[in-house]
Amino acid sequence: MRHRRLLLAATAAWLLAPGSAFAGGHTSRPPAAPVTYDVSYPQCGAALPSNADSGIVGVNNGIVLSANPCLATEWTWATHATGHAPAFYANTGNPGPTYSSHWPAGQQTPQVCDGSNSTGCAYDYGWNAAKDSLADAAKVTNAPASYQWWLDVETGNAWETLESAYGQTAVAQAADRAELAGEIAALTDSGVRTVGVYSTSYQWKQITGGTGTQFAASPVWVAGTGSLSTAAANCAAAGFTGGPVVLTQYAKSGYDADDRC
């Protein structure tokens, strides 16, 4: 009987141990799997995700030719994730000469720009914006071109196709495409291997009018605030640039998380 009592006591202790199926009616749960997150100036001063397998960090303060004031802190956070290498993303836009104080004039390279509303000037504007983003990134790493870069292409920024001075015309669409081509050329000129595009099919069509195969070498990161299941469905969609979909965004615990396709 003594041995039986000891066995019963040991069994009861196991059943009531923390994490057992019967301790307080709860089962133990494995830690949440690490997730890729993207952060930028909106997260300045806020707690950053603690369980990240990678971080994608915005270098701008929401618009071209501006610097994210928290880039150093956020880049340090991103480099601590070990699942995947960190990456940068840059805001893009093409306000044209009517709305920009940075519009090039008299620039001879990479294209000749006389200050007019031309595709050459739009290309140079994009080139200058990307080089500025690279310079900002160089303040936090001595090899910014060795990382993946993404271009954020959204209707929330200024584009000729969305501005009343230009309108949804073929000329405006060509200028907006030229701006993006200039950004990509500037990044690859500096050594970036592949430049991807963050957007949605709708925004991409609104801004560019559709690009055929012009940007087919650019992988796609689909923007979104839906669930993980929505992100998974977006992984199966066709890439709006003509390139493959490799990342899809979704909302997770108050952050922007990203599914790897």
Summarize pLDDT for 129-143 with one digit per residue, the tens. Answer: 999 999 999 999 999
Q: Is the pLDDT of residue 93 over 60?
A: yes
Residues ≥6 apart with Cβ < 8 Å to 256: 37, 38, 39, 225, 249, 250
* Contact predicate 53/34, CB 8 Å: yes
Q: What is the CATH number of the domain that holds 148?
A: 3.20.20
- Map residue 4 onto helix, strand or coil: helix
**Domain presence at residue 3:** no
pLDDT, position 97? 97
**Domain presence at residue 23:** no
Summarize pLDDT for 47-73 with one digit per residue, the tens. Answer: 999 889 999 999 999 999 999 999 999
- Strand ranges, E, within 143-244: 148-152, 195-199, 220-222
Domain count, the chain: 1
**Domain presence at residue 120:** yes
**Domain presence at residue 27:** no
Cα–Cα distance measured from residue 87 to residue 147, given in angstroms and rounded to the nearest whole number: 6
**Domain presence at residue 28:** no
pLDDT, position 214? 96
- Map residue 36 onto helix, strand or coil: strand
**Domain presence at residue 2:** no
DSSP state of 152: E
Single-letter code of the amino acid located at 239: G
C-beta contacts of 136-144 below 8 A and 24+ residues apart: 136/59, 136/60, 136/67, 136/68, 136/71, 137/59, 137/71, 137/88, 139/71, 139/72, 140/71, 140/72, 140/75, 140/76, 141/75, 144/88, 144/190
Reported confidence tier of residue 82, pLDDT bands at 50, 70, 90: confident
**Domain presence at residue 176:** yes
**Domain, as residue range, for 150:** 39-260
Beta-bridge mates of residue 150: 89, 196
Tokens of 177: 């495409």
**Domain presence at residue 132:** yes
Average pLDDT value for residue range 68-97: 96
Cα–Cα distance measured from residue 229 to residue 255, given in angstroms and rounded to the nearest whole number: 16
Q: What is the pTM of this model?
A: 0.87
